[in-house]
Amino acid sequence: MTYDILIVGAGPVGSTYARYMAEKGYKVGIIEKKSRIGVPLQCAGLLGRQIKEVNILPSELIINPFYGAYLHSPSDRILKVAKNNPEAYVVDRVGYDQFLAELAVDAGAELFLKHQVKDINLKNGMVYIKNGKEDFRGRIIVGADGYNSVVALKISNNEHNHSLQAAQFKVDFDKNLFDMDYVHLYADASISPGFIWLIPLSSSEARVGLFGNSDYHSLNKYLKDFLNNNPAFDNYSLMKKYQGRIPIFNPKKNIVKDNVILLGDAASQVKPTTGGGLIMGFKCAQIAANITGKALENDDNTILKQYQSQYRKKFKTELNTQLRVQKIFKSLTDEDLDLMFIKLKEEGAEDIISEYGEMDDQAPLVKELFKRGIIFKILPKILARGISALWK
Ligand SMILES: Cc1cc2nc3c(=O)[nH]c(=O)nc-3n(C[C@H](O)[C@H](O)[C@H](O)COP(=O)(O)OP(=O)(O)OC[C@H]3O[C@@H](n4cnc5c(N)ncnc54)[C@H](O)[C@@H]3O)c2cc1C
């Protein structure tokens, strides 16, 4: 079977891109190895407010909106940041993946479940399926097959994507513990640049998780110690455990070759500081749809290179800022982090973060802290210079 666009992976980003292309009238096929889309859950499901601009999010899939966050230092000094309107939403991520796939199918895309891609041919566009199932051909092939992408492997001469392990628990705290308007983020040098997130699903239940450069077993133990050592969590029970991997953003990654492009986690399109991939993936799906549409219209695959250049240009400042911030956090000790929280509070940073902070675009806040001289007060000189160099 031949398609204009053949997408490997019906994750949220692949399905969104499929919808855009089907709406343009192209013949779109999506090949997905799972029998049930989105299962098992491998996500905290926290989406910044930009989700409403970059994709459709039905209100019945929103579990809870958040207006701000409590940021906890290692010795539990707290910064509270708040907005007047919802800054983020925790969503039913399994339901959301299924909803986005249904929209793609409604728009005309053909979805093939239980089809695992084993290989692709860059020259003739063939996509080969495991277990003797019929093969496919695409004029353009889109690898949206996640961090462990077979398509990425193929176009990068067998160089695997680098990724970090993530672990998450669904926890019942057995009492009304949470203000539902706020998420909690706990800084800790030993897991830096990661952090622990606690996202209330109700006043007594939360998703608690972290990612880091350790194995799943160690992260699990770390999370249990975190819960056991916090006196407020005296009678909790674990309802579910989840695990997954988060690709490490690679600014030099080649995401186009011949008639193939990569999208979403397969392209390492995730925010370096938080590991969040949905908003950025959806924005990239829009760029990819414009460029692949042009390439099909002109029957010229050399146009696909513009996808890589436009993507890099659009996210350059933001991602470079996040990479620097991430590098700095990696070098800080628990004492440094505590001191930083104290100084931030003294400098009135809660108000500044409340005004300029945003989950998905962090560069404006860092720039504001730099402009007000706060960066130089909270960080050792050498690290502060690294950040300020971004705006020289
Ligand atoms: C614990 C955890 C928490 C997270 N929390 C957040 C969060 O709060 N907010 C946020 O924005 N992001 C979060 N992320 C990241 C987010 O989940 C990813 O960025 C997002 O899922 C990427 O979407 P995608 O469509 O690119 O890839 P995926 O969601 O990985 O989808 C890829 C699809 O391809 C399929 N596939 C893979 N290989 C093949 C093959 N060979 N053949 C056919 N099909 C194949 C898979 O089955 C899957 O359906 C988190 C990740 C983890 C692990």
CA of residue 265 to ligand 1 center, whole Å: 6
- Rounded Cα gap, residues 272 and 274, in angstroms: 6
Q: Whose CA is nearest to atom 39 of ligand 1?
A: 145
Cβ–ligand 1 distance for 194 under 6 Å, the answer no
Q: Which atom of ligand 1 is nearest to the CA of 278?
A: 11
Q: Which atom of ligand 1 is nearest to the CA of 97?
A: 29
The region, left, alpha or beta by phi > 0 then psi within -120 to 50, assigned to residue 258 is left
pLDDT at 385: 60
Tokens of 315: 């996210």
Q: Tell me the range of 101-105, 184-188, 194-198, 331-335 where mean pLDDT is highest.
A: 101-105
Contact 8, 143 (CB under 8 A): yes
Q: Any idea which of 8-12, 192-196, 231-235, 259-263 has the lowest mean pLDDT?
A: 192-196
Q: Any idea which of 1-15, 188-202, 234-248, 295-309 has the lowest mean pLDDT?
A: 188-202
CA of residue 25 to ligand 1 center, whole Å: 26
In 49-105, where do the E strands start and end?
62-66, 68-72, 78-82, 88-91
Which run of H or of E encompasses 247?
strand 237-247
CA of residue 252 to ligand 1 center, whole Å: 21
pLDDT digits over 149-174, tens only? 999 999 987 777 789 999 999 999 99
The CA-CA-CA angle for residues 318, 324, 326, to 5°, reads 100
Could you tell me the pTM of the whole model?
0.94
3-state class (DSSP) for residue 165: strand
Sheet holding 237-247, edge to edge: 78-82, 68-72, 182-186, 196-200, 205-212, 163-172, 237-247
pLDDT at 383: 60
Q: Quick check: bond before 58 cis, omega within 30?
A: no
- Rounded Cα gap, residues 310 and 228, in angstroms: 47
- Rounded Cα gap, residues 356 and 22, in angstroms: 37
Task: pLDDT band for 392, please (50, 70, 90 cuts).
Answer: low
Q: Which atom of ligand 1 is nearest to the CA of 144?
A: 26
Cβ–ligand 1 distance for 146 under 6 Å, the answer yes
DSSP state of 134: P
Cβ–ligand 1 distance for 55 under 6 Å, the answer no
The answer, yes or no, to whether residue 358 has pLDDT greater than 90, is no
The answer, yes or no, to whether residue 198 has pLDDT greater than 90, is yes
CA atoms within 13 A on the CB side of 219: 26
Pocket test for ligand 1, best of 246, 286, 358, 361 (most atoms within 8 A of CB): 246
The answer, yes or no, to whether residue 193 has pLDDT greater than 90, is no
Contact 370, 387 (CB under 8 A): yes
Contact 255, 262 (CB under 8 A): yes
Task: pLDDT band for 86, please (50, 70, 90 cuts).
Answer: very high
Cβ–ligand 1 distance for 154 under 6 Å, the answer no
Contact 240, 169 (CB under 8 A): yes
The answer, yes or no, to whether residue 252 has pLDDT greater than 60, is yes
The answer, yes or no, to whether residue 387 has pLDDT greater than 60, is no
The answer, yes or no, to whether residue 391 has pLDDT greater than 60, is no
Cβ–ligand 1 distance for 246 under 6 Å, the answer yes
The answer, yes or no, to whether residue 389 has pLDDT greater than 80, is no
Cβ–ligand 1 distance for 44 under 6 Å, the answer yes
How buried is 122 (Cβ within 10 angstroms: 0-12 exposed, 13-18 middle, 19+ buried)?
middle
Q: Smallest Cα–Cα separation from 129: which of 144, 148, 150?
A: 150
User: How large is the average pLDDT for residues 95-122?
Assistant: 97
Contact 4, 26 (CB under 8 A): yes
Task: pLDDT band for 324, please (50, 70, 90 cuts).
Answer: confident
Cβ–ligand 1 distance for 45 under 6 Å, the answer yes
